[in-house]
Amino acid sequence: MLLPEQQGQGGSATRSAPISVFLVDDVPELRELIKIGMEEDPGFRVVGEAGDGRGAVDGIAATRPAAVLLDLSMPDMDGLEAILEIRKGDSHVAIVVLSGFSADRMGPPSLERGADGYLEKGTPIQELRDATRLAVAKRRGY
């Protein structure tokens, strides 16, 4: 996992409500698998999905999730463009990129645009959940 330099303490805060998550990937079957994996943990609830960057920007504005899991390679608007658009509308949402591109190649440009973390597809679901919790905690100032 690739996180910005401020990766530090991170600890986990107790939450009374699950972390709301918005999923963005152009492959519906992958979104469904991620949804199942995230919601196996009662600390997460998927509140929306989109198959492209434009749908992501609109859906995130409508649902106001705590976190977004975002692919980079998508039709209409790619993930790098979507990060910039999401940040214009919501500076508090945690954005974790989940991409098929290597972290060495696409992690730095993703983080420079405002992503909070970068994971490669195939990362174990527990690591994805942990990275999402960490990104949300940092955005909330924990």
pLDDT tens figures, 9-64: 334 444 469 999 999 999 999 999 999 999 999 999 999 999 999 999 999 999 99
Q: Is the pLDDT of residue 86 over 80?
A: yes
For 142, the 3-state DSSP assignment is coil
For 67, other C-beta atoms within 10 Å of its C-beta total 25
Q: In 3D, which of 120, 135, 141, 131 has the Cα closest to residue 41? A: 131
| Residue 13 burial class via C-beta count within 10 angstroms: exposed 0-12, middle 13-18, buried 19 and up | exposed
Average the pLDDT over 91-112 and give the result: 94
Q: Is the pLDDT of residue 81 over 90?
A: yes
- Global pTM? 0.87
For 18, other C-beta atoms within 10 Å of its C-beta total 16
Q: Which CATH superfamily is domain 19-139 in?
A: Response regulator (3.40.50.2300)
How confident is the model at residue 1, as a pLDDT?
62
Average the pLDDT over 123-129 and give the result: 97
Strand partners, 48: 22
Q: What does the alpha-carbon distance between residue 76 and residue 63 come to, in Å, rounded to a whole number?
A: 21
How many Cα neighbours within 13 Å face the side chain of 112?
7
